[in-house]
Chains A and B, each alone.
Chain A
C-alpha cells in the first residue's frame, strides 16, 4: 500500500514540475532581446573569408578585414579586401546610408548609389539587409514576434521564433529563427518571401567563445531558389579593439588606417 503512495507522489511531482516549467516560459520578446544582445557589438574588428558557391558548384573566395562600430544608433562599416591579389587593397565604406568604394588600381574613391542597398552584398547570397541584421542592427528594432515554440534542433534545445517585419518593410514576409537555449545564438534562420515560400536558409556552425562572447565562426547562407550558397568563415574576431570614429571616413578609405 505504501508503495502506491510513493508512486502517486512521484507522479504528482513530475506533472507539477512539467507545469512549472511551462508556467514561466520566456516570452518571445525576451528571447529576441537576448538573441540581439549576443549578436550585437558596439564595435568589433573581424577578418573573414567569404566563399561563393554557384548552383553548378563553381567557387570564388574573397578575404576581407571589417571594422564595425555603432555611432548614434547607426552602423558604420569599413571593409578592406585582403585577397585575392587583384582586388587587394580595395576598400568599402558604409556610413549611414551612403556607400563609397576605393579602387586602388584607379587610385580613386567613388560613391555607390544608395539604391544598391536593396541588392545583395558583393554578389553573395546575403543582402545588405541580412548583413545588417546579423551584424550590429539585430532583429528587434525592425521585427515583431509572431510566435514562439520550444523544440529540438539536433541535440540542442532551441526556441523556434517566428518574426515578421514591422510595417511590412524589407523583402521578407517572415523569418523563422532557431535560437539555442543556452548560447542564445541563431542555429538556423529561414527567410520567407512575400509569397510565403522559403527563399533562403542560414545555418551557423563552430560556435566559440571569444572575449567572453559566443560567436558563430562559420555561417552558410543558401539561396533555396537559385541553389547557390555563400559560406562566411570568421578567421579572427576582436571585440576589444578600440576603433576611432575617424576610421569611417573617405580619407581613411583612401589612405588606409
Chain B
C-alpha cells in the first residue's frame, strides 16, 4: 500500500493523464453498446434447448410470432373483413416477415367435384352482409379457424405475423408497431407477442433508466455534499463512478456485448457502490490533513490507513458479483463479469486517480463535517448492545426463523410479460388475445420418426386430442389435420372420411398430391424427408406455473402415446425457453450463493485473521440473504431475472459493514481495550461511516421504486432492505454476539453477572 501511495503522489499527473486517455478510449466503444431483450441471448449458444428451438425454426420456418388483434363489434362485415385483408397484405410487404396468417390469407384444403384444391379460405372478399354472414358460419364451425384466427363470439380477429428465422424479431416488432399507427380504421388494434413485448421492454426500460439515472446521481450528490460540504467531496467520488462506468461499457462495446433487462441496472449499481471507496479515502485524507503536513505526505498517510480496508471491501464486492459467473444464463454471467470488472475499476481509480488528484489540487482548509451528528444514536446503540446482547440475538433469530417460513412461498418467474403493469397497453393486448383466442404464444412439439407410418400418425392424433382435452392449449395442428382434410376432400367432402387413412401408400400419395399443389403449405408441418413433423398449439396460460403445468402434461402424454423407441418427441417454443430460464435462475442462484459465501469467508480469514469474526460476518450476511428471500416469499415478490441479482449484491456489499465493525473491534482489542470497550468504540466510531455509506447506497437504490417496471421497483426496495439489515446487523447483531460470547460463563460464572 505504501508503494502504491508513493507512486500516486510522485507521479500524479502521469496517472491522471493515463486515466483520462483510457477513459476516452473506452468511451469510444461505450457509445456502441446497444440493448437486447432477445430471450435466446440469455442462453449459451450451445444450450440444447436453444439448439432445438433453432432447429425447429430452420426446418419449419419461424417459431416467433407477432400478434395483431383487431377488435370490432362484429368482425363479419364486408368493411372489417376488407380491413383485415388490407392489413394482411400490407404487413406481408415488410422486410423480415415470413408470412402473415389471418382470416383472409389462410389456405384451406377443399374437395371439389373434379379434385383437390388448396385455396384461400376467403377466395373473394364478401361484398354483402349476407355473404359475410355465410362466411361467419363456416369459419366459426371450423376448429382450425374458430377461436384461432377469429374469436368465438366474432368480436375480434387475429393476424399472426411469422418472423423470418434469422431476422431480428424485436426490431420487426418496432417497425410493425410504427406501421399500424398509420392505419385509420374504425376497428381497435392491439399488438402483442413476445417480440412486441421485448421491443417495448427494451425501449421503455431505456427510457426508465434515462429518467431515473439522473435522479440517482442527484441524490447521491446531495448525500455526498451533506457529508463533505464541499465540491471536491462530490466531484472525486463521481469521477470514480463515471470512469468505472465508461470503462465497463467500453469493455462491453469492445467485446460486442449488449445491455439487457438484467444488466440495465448495472449503471445504477456502479453509481451507488463505486463512490464508497473514494469516500473512505477522502474522509481519512481530511482527518490526516488537520496538521501542517505536506499534501503528498497526507495522501500517503490516508492511503496507508484506509487502503487495506478499502481493498477488502472492494474485493468482497467483486467476489459477490463474480458469483453470477456460476449461472447457466449467459446474460447473468455477463452481468457478473462486467459488474465485478466495474467495481474493480472503481476500486483501482479510487486508489490511484483520487490520490493523484488530491496530491495535485491546491490545499484548502478542511472542514470536519463528518464529525457532527450520529454520535448520540450510536452511543445509544452501543449501550443496548452492551446491556441486552441476548435480546438482540433472540430478535435476530426470530427474524431468521420468520424468513425461513417465507422460503417455501418463494416462486420464480422468468416471464417477461409480468414486467408490465396490468393496466399498461401491452398487458391489455396480451390479456385480450388470451381471453378471446386460444393464446398468443405457441408450443412446438417435434415428432421424429417415419411420418408415413399410419401408426405414428394415429399416435400423434391421440396425443393432440388428449392435449386439447387438458384445456391448456387451443386446437393442436399438425400433419394429421392436413391428412384428415385431404382424405375428406378426396372423398367428395364426405365427413366420414375426415380421418388419416390406414394405408401408408395412400398417405405417401396424398403428401405427393399436396406437394404438387403447393409445397409451401406442407413445409410448415413436415420436413421434405418425412422424418420430422411439428405439432403446434397455442398456449392459453403463459405464466411460469401455466407453462410448468403444460410441460408436465406434455411429458405425460408423450409417454402415453409415443412409447416406441424409433420415435423421438421434443417440445420447444419461446415459452419452453422461458420455463428453462426459471430453472437456470434457481440453479445459478444456489451455486452462486455457495461460491460467494465461501469466497467471502476465505477473504475475511485472510484479511481479519480471526475465525470468529470471519464466521460471524459470513453468518450475518447469510442470514441477511435469507431474510431477503423470506421477504420475497412473504410478499409474493417473484425471483425473476432482475431480482435474482439482489443476493449477490447483498453478499458482496453487505459484508463490508461487518468487516468494518469487526476490524475496528479487533483494532481496539489490540490497543488494550476490553471486549465491551472495544465494541463500544467500534460502534460509535466506525458506525458513523457505516451509517453514511448505508444511507448513500440506500438512497441511490430506492430511486428505482420510481420505475414503471415491477422488477426494478422490487429490486430497489430489496437492495435497500438488504443494506438496511446488513448495516443494522453489523451495528447490533455482531457486537451483541461478541459481547455475549466474551461474557459467557467459561470457568467463572461470575463474569456473567458483571454484564
Chain A nearest CB, measured from B684 CB (Å): 71
Contact A111 B509 (CB under 8 A): no
Residues on A with beta carbons closer than 8 Å to the beta carbon of B114: 110-111
Contact A116 B517 (CB under 8 A): yes
A228 at interface by CB-CB < 8 Å? yes
Contact B506 A103 (CB under 8 A): yes
CB within 8 A of B516: which of A54, A58, A92? Answer: A92
| In the complex, per-residue mask of A54-78: 1 if CB is within 8 Å of any chain B CB, else 0 | 1110111000000000000000000
Contact B115 A58 (CB under 8 A): no
Contact B529 A87 (CB under 8 A): no
CB within 8 A of B509: which of A106, A116, A119? Answer: A106
Instruction: Give A106 to B510 CA distance when docked, in angstroms.
Output: 9
Residues on A with beta carbons closer than 8 Å to the beta carbon of B235: none
Instruction: Give A116 to B119 CA distance when docked, in angstroms.
Output: 10
The chain B residue with its CB closest to the CB of A92 is B516
Contact A113 B452 (CB under 8 A): no
Given A55-B58, A110-B490, A111-B115, check contact A103 B513 (CB 8 Å): yes
Residues on B with beta carbons closer than 8 Å to the beta carbon of A111: 114-116
B208 at interface by CB-CB < 8 Å? no
Residues on B with beta carbons closer than 8 Å to the beta carbon of A101: 115, 512-513, 516
Interface SS of B by simple majority: helix
Residues on A with beta carbons closer than 8 Å to the beta carbon of B528: 52, 54, 58, 60, 123, 228
Contact A112 B508 (CB under 8 A): no
Contact B516 A60 (CB under 8 A): no
Contact B58 A122 (CB under 8 A): no
Contact B506 A106 (CB under 8 A): yes
Interface SS of A by simple majority: mixed
Instruction: Give A55 to B509 CA distance when docked, in angstroms.
Output: 24
Question: 8 Å CB contacts to A: which residues of B509-563?
Answer: 509-510, 512-513, 515-520, 522-523, 527-532
A86 at interface by CB-CB < 8 Å? yes
Chain B nearest CB, measured from A237 CB (Å): 23
CB within 8 A of B505: which of A100, A105, A113? Answer: A105
Residues on B with beta carbons closer than 8 Å to the beta carbon of A90: 509, 512
A207 at interface by CB-CB < 8 Å? no
CB within 8 A of A113: which of B58, B117, B501? Answer: B117
Chain A nearest CB, measured from B682 CB (Å): 67
The chain A residue with its CB closest to the CB of B164 is A225
Contact B529 A113 (CB under 8 A): no
Contact A123 B505 (CB under 8 A): no
A120 at interface by CB-CB < 8 Å? yes
Contact A123 B515 (CB under 8 A): yes
Interface residues on A, range: 20 to 34
Chain B nearest CB, measured from A119 CB (Å): 5
A240 at interface by CB-CB < 8 Å? no
Chain A nearest CB, measured from B305 CB (Å): 66
A25 at interface by CB-CB < 8 Å? no
Q: Could you say which of B58, B518, B523, B530 has the most chain A C-beta atoms within 10 Å of its C-beta?
A: B518
Contact B517 A54 (CB under 8 A): no
A149 at interface by CB-CB < 8 Å? no
| In the complex, per-residue mask of B101-127: 1 if CB is within 8 Å of any chain A CB, else 0 | 000000000000011111100000000
The chain A residue with its CB closest to the CB of B526 is A123
B503 at interface by CB-CB < 8 Å? yes
Q: How many A-B residue pairs have CB under 8 A?
A: 102
Question: 8 Å CB contacts to B: which residues of A161-213?
Answer: none
B59 at interface by CB-CB < 8 Å? yes
Residues on A with beta carbons closer than 8 Å to the beta carbon of B512: 81, 87, 90, 101, 103, 122
CB within 8 A of B517: which of A87, A105, A106, A113? Answer: A113
Contact B503 A105 (CB under 8 A): yes
Residues on B with beta carbons closer than 8 Å to the beta carbon of A55: 58-59
Instruction: Give A56 to B531 CA distance when docked, in angstroms.
Output: 11
CB within 8 A of A112: which of B58, B510, B516? Answer: B516
Contact B515 A122 (CB under 8 A): yes
Residues on A with beta carbons closer than 8 Å to the beta carbon of B520: 119-120
Instruction: Give A112 to B521 CA distance when docked, in angstroms.
Output: 14
| In the complex, per-residue mask of A109-131: 1 if CB is within 8 Å of any chain B CB, else 0 | 01111011001101100000000
B504 at interface by CB-CB < 8 Å? yes
Given A110-B116, A113-B118, check contact A60 B530 (CB 8 Å): yes
Question: 8 Å CB contacts to B: which residues of A76-112?
Answer: 81, 84-87, 90, 92, 99-101, 103-106, 108, 110-112
Contact A112 B509 (CB under 8 A): no
Question: 8 Å CB contacts to A: which residues of B476-512?
Answer: 490, 501, 503-510, 512
Instruction: Give A86 to B531 CA distance when docked, in angstroms.
Output: 15
Residues on A with beta carbons closer than 8 Å to the beta carbon of B293: none
Contact B119 A113 (CB under 8 A): yes
The chain A residue with its CB closest to the CB of B520 is A119
Contact A115 B516 (CB under 8 A): no
CB within 8 A of A56: which of B58, B115, B117, B490? Answer: B58
Residues on A with beta carbons closer than 8 Å to the beta carbon of B750: none
Chain B nearest CB, measured from A132 CB (Å): 15
6 tightest A-B contacts by CB?
A: A111-B115, A110-B115, A105-B506, A86-B508, A58-B529, A123-B515
Q: Which residues of A are at the interface with B, using a C-beta cutoff of 8 A?
A: 52, 54-56, 58-60, 81, 84-87, 90, 92, 99-101, 103-106, 108, 110-113, 115-116, 119-120, 122-123, 228
Q: List 21 A-B contacts (CB under 8 A).
A: A55-B58, A58-B531, A60-B530, A86-B505, A86-B508, A90-B512, A100-B115, A103-B506, A103-B512, A104-B505, A104-B509, A105-B501, A105-B503, A105-B505, A105-B509, A111-B114, A116-B517, A123-B515, A123-B519, A123-B523, A123-B528
Q: List 18 other contacts, CB 8 Å, given A115-B119, A122-B512.
A: A54-B528, A56-B59, A58-B529, A58-B531, A59-B529, A87-B505, A101-B516, A103-B513, A105-B503, A105-B505, A105-B506, A105-B509, A106-B506, A110-B115, A111-B114, A113-B116, A120-B520, A228-B528
